[in-house]
Amino acid sequence: MSDIFEINKQRIDQRIEKGLELLRQYYILRERTVPEEFRILKIQNMIFEIRQFEIENVGNLLTMKCRDSQPLQMDTFTLMPYFKNLPLFTTDYMYNGSKRSYLNEIYSLVDYQDELYLSYIEKFKQNKAKHDALPDMPVKPCWYDDIRPTYTAKVTDPDADEENFQIFLDNLNTFIEMEQNTPVLDHEAYQKKWKQNKSYSDRLVDENGISTDVFKAALGAEKTKKFFSQVFFAPDLYKK
């Protein structure tokens, strides 16, 4: 497929815009001004465009797009909630020519897991099961496995692009439904939730993570922690 590079660009734009469009049906999104040092990041010869949004009464949304770097192109869509007892929702879609690698993850950064919470974790697991026929992408064990109740990791060819895109939409719709049915945290509970988010953001840098190591190699540990704290997960912006 001679024009696969251009097709991959279209896929990247499509996923990010469809995700934003879906969120805007339910929420007010306010785009934040990303600090200049983080608007464009060069990571392993890949150039990423960074955008950040506040989802009113929900939390922080980060998008990253690397459309023009060869051979690897990718995009990231990460939603870190603060105002309710909700998990971290994070996704990475990678394109290496005709090879696709997709990762959709849920992290239980919460102080408690009640019946409502667990019922939606089960729905995320059901979303995963719908696509079990697609080839799995090997994922290395890491310290955060204990707080990752479910994830979908696939490696496919372009024939599965629409199905892989649907995985993202299914999970985002489930997250929205979960948010709509979850009560707002009181002040004390908010503080506990914030500490969970902050601890995860810091621990990724301090104890390493597969993708975090790539950031640290390019930016250094201190700048990576600053990027995570202000932009990627943004606990600095939600401290009360």
Domains of the chain: 4-182 (3.40.1500.20)
Confidence at residue 2, expressed as pLDDT on a 0 to 100 scale: 54
CA 91 to chain centre: 4
Contact 229, 201 (CB under 8 A): yes
Ranges in the chain, pLDDT < 50: 1
Sequence-distant (6+) residues with CB within 8 A of 224 are 205, 212, 215, 216
pLDDT at position 45, please?
A: 86
Give dist(CA 89, CA 78) in Å, integer.
6
Listed in sequence order, the residues at least 6 apart from 35 whose beta carbon sits closer than 8 Å to its beta carbon are 230, 231
